[in-house]
């Protein structure tokens, strides 16, 4: 648990890079009209059935190759950081720009 909170989420890692698939710049969401369309139609069907829209995992809006790259980056940072017991509280050990 402590290890996870010392690092940004996988979504932040993925978002921090350019998307190799749709070329979305870092920090910008993927240009994924098909994904948007699928989610919109899913929510239309739910609305007709009187159900609230599905809660969206932000990772769903990114291309898989971007998530994979973010995941490798995150894994590298975690591997390069000191062991959890040697970390100072409140310090960031990730290599994302901040
Ligand atoms: Zn993309």
Quick: pLDDT tens for 74-84.
999 999 999 98
pLDDT of residue 44: 96
Mean pLDDT along residues 47-56: 93
Q: What is the 47 CA–ligand 1 centroid distance (Å)?
A: 28
Task: Give φ, ψ of 26 to 5 degrees.
Answer: -60, 140
Are 18 and 25 in contact by the 8 Å Cβ rule? The answer is yes
Q: For residues 8 and 89, which has the higher predicted lDDT (pLDDT)?
A: 8
Q: What is the 59 CA–ligand 1 centroid distance (Å)?
A: 11
Q: What is the 65 CA–ligand 1 centroid distance (Å)?
A: 8
DSSP 8-state symbol, 3:
H
Instruction: Return the structure tokens found at 7.
Output: 């690092």
Q: What is the 29 CA–ligand 1 centroid distance (Å)?
A: 7
Q: What is the 23 CA–ligand 1 centroid distance (Å)?
A: 6
């Amino acid at each position: 648990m402590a290890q996870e909170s010392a690092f940004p989420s996988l979504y932040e890692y993925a978002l921090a890079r350019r998307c190799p698939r749709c070329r979305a710049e870092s920090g910008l969401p993927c240009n994924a009209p098909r994904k948007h369309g699928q989610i919109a139609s899913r929510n239309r069907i739910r609305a007709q059935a009187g159900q609230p829209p599905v809660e969206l995992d932000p990772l769903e809006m990114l291309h898989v190759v971007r998530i994979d790259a973010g995941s490798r980056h995150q894994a590298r940072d975690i591997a390069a950081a000191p062991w959890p017991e040697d970390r100072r509280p409140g310090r960031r050990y990730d290599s994302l720009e901040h």
